[in-house]
Amino acid sequence: MGIISAERVFEVLDTTEHVQPTGTKSLDRLKGDIELKQVRFSYVHGEEVLKGIDLKVKAGETIAIVGTTGAGKSTIINLLNRFYDIDSGEILLDGHDLYDFKVEDLRKNIAVVLQDVFLFADSIYNNIALYNPNITKQDVIEAAKKIGAHEFIMQLPGGYDFNVKERGGMLSSGQRQLIAFIRAYVAKPNILILDEATSSIDSYTEELIQTAIERLTKNSTSIVIAHRLATIQHADRIIVMDKGKIIEEGNHYDLITIPNGYYKKLYESQFKNNL
Ligand SMILES: Nc1ncnc2c1ncn2[C@@H]1O[C@H](COP(=O)(O)OP(=O)(O)OP(=O)(O)O)[C@@H](O)[C@H]1O
Ligand SMILES: [Mg+2]
C-alpha cells in the first residue's frame, strides 16, 4: 500500500502544468473588453465541456451566467484565468489574444472570487490584505463598509483581528465569500469574476452578498455566475448555459417572456412563494 501511495505522489509530482505560459506581452492596465469566439474545451480528451461558446462583454458591463450544474460556467473562469488552455477558438482581452499576455500580468488584472473561497488560519484583516504592504487596515475597513460587510465583521469576537482558523472553518460559506469580496474590492481590478457559493446560506448573509455584488460590480467589467436569481436581476445581460452551450441570452425581462424558457422556469421555481 505504501508503494502504491508513493506511486500516486510521484504521478502528481510528474504532472506538467496545464498551461504553457508562453505569453510575453506585458499588461499594465486593462480596459476590460472580453470576447470568446467559438471556444471549445475539454478537461478529459473526448469529453467536451464547452461546445463553441460565443460571448462578448464590453468594458464596464456586468453580465451574469446562470445554468444547470455542470453546464460549464466555472470552466469559463478557469479559462479566462488560464488555469487551463482552450482546445480551439479564441479568447480576446481588449482585442488581444489572451495567450499573448504574461500569465502573471493577466492574473493581476483579473480578480476572481471562486465558488469555494479559500481562507487561511489568520485574521480577517490578513485574509483580505494578503500581506500586501500597500493595503492598510484603514483601506480594508473602508472597503468592507463600501460593500456592506463591516457590521458583520464587527460582530465577530475581535472584529478584523478574528482568526478564521484552518480553511476559514469559523465562518459560514457565505461569510467566507463576503471576505473574498472585500479582498477583490481592495485589489481594484478592471475585470471581476464572481462565482456565487452553491451551498445554502441564511437569508441575512444572502442579502449582504446581494448588496456586495451590486457594489462590487459597479467599477469593473464583471462576470457574475449566479445560483440565486435575486443576485443578478440588475445585470446588463444574462447568459443561460446548458451542457456546454449558451441556450438563452438577454436581460431579465427578455428572458422571462420566452415561452417555456429555461430562465423563466428557473425564475418561477425560485420565486413561486412570492408570486
Ligand atoms: N478539473 C476538472 N477535471 C475534469 N472535469 C471537470 C473538472 N472541473 C469540472 N469538470 C467537469 O466539467 C463540467 C463543467 O463543470 P463546471 O464546474 O464548469 O460546471 P458549473 O456550470 O460551474 O456547475 P455548478 O453550477 O455546479 O458550479 C462538469 O461535467 C464537470 O464534472
Ligand atoms: Mg461552478
pLDDT tens per residue, range 38-80: 999 999 999 999 999 999 999 999 999 999 999 999 999 999 9
Q: Which atom of ligand 1 is nearest to the CA of 70?
A: 19
pLDDT tens per residue, range 86-124: 999 999 999 999 999 988 888 889 999 988 888 999 999
Supply the pLDDT for residue 236. Answer: 92
What is the count of structural domains for the chain? Answer: 1
* C-alpha span between 192 and 121 (Å, rounded): 25
Nearest protein CA to atom 13 of ligand 1, as residue: 70
The answer as to whether 21 is a domain residue is: no
* C-alpha span between 193 and 109 (Å, rounded): 11
* 198 alpha carbon, closest ligand: 1
Nearest protein CA to atom 16 of ligand 1, as residue: 72
| pTM: predicted TM-score of the whole model, two decimal places | 0.87
Task: Confirm or reject: Cβ of 43 under 6 Å from ligand 1.
Answer: yes
Q: Are 42 and 49 in contact (CB under 8 A)?
A: yes
Task: Confirm or reject: Cβ of 70 under 6 Å from ligand 1.
Answer: yes
The answer as to whether 1 is a domain residue is: no
Task: Confirm or reject: Cβ of 237 under 6 Å from ligand 1.
Answer: no
On the question of pLDDT at 226 being above 80, the answer is yes
pLDDT tens per residue, range 165-223: 888 778 888 899 999 999 999 988 899 999 987 777 788 888 888 888 989 898 899 99
The answer as to whether 18 is a domain residue is: no
Nearest protein CA to atom 2 of ligand 1, as residue: 43
**Neighbouring residues of 37: CB distance < 8 A, sequence distance ≥ 6:** 54, 89, 90, 91, 92
Domain that holds residue 183: 32-271
List the end-to-end C-alpha distance of the chain, in Å, as a whole number.
58
The answer as to whether 58 is a domain residue is: yes
The answer as to whether 80 is a domain residue is: yes
CATH at 118: 3.40.50.300
Supply the pLDDT for residue 271. Answer: 75
Task: Confirm or reject: Cβ of 49 under 6 Å from ligand 1.
Answer: yes
Supply the pLDDT for residue 202. Answer: 82
Nearest protein CA to atom 18 of ligand 1, as residue: 72
The answer as to whether 76 is a domain residue is: yes
SS3 per-residue string spanning the chain: CHHHHHHHHHHHHHCCCCCCCCCCECCCCCCCCEEEEEEEEEEECCEEEEEEEEEEECCCCEEEEEECCCCCHHHHHHHHCCCCCCCEEEEEECCEEHHHECHHHHHHHEEEECCCCCCCCCEHHHHHHCCCCCCCHHHHHHHHHHCCCHHHHHCCCCHHHCECCHHHCCCCHHHHHHHHHHHHHHCCCCEEEEECCCCCCCHHHHHHHHHHHHHHHHHCEEEEECCCHHHHCCCCEEEEEECCEEEEEECHHHHHCCCCCHHHHHHHHHHCCCC
The answer as to whether 42 is a domain residue is: yes
Supply the pLDDT for residue 118. Answer: 85
Supply the pLDDT for residue 124. Answer: 96
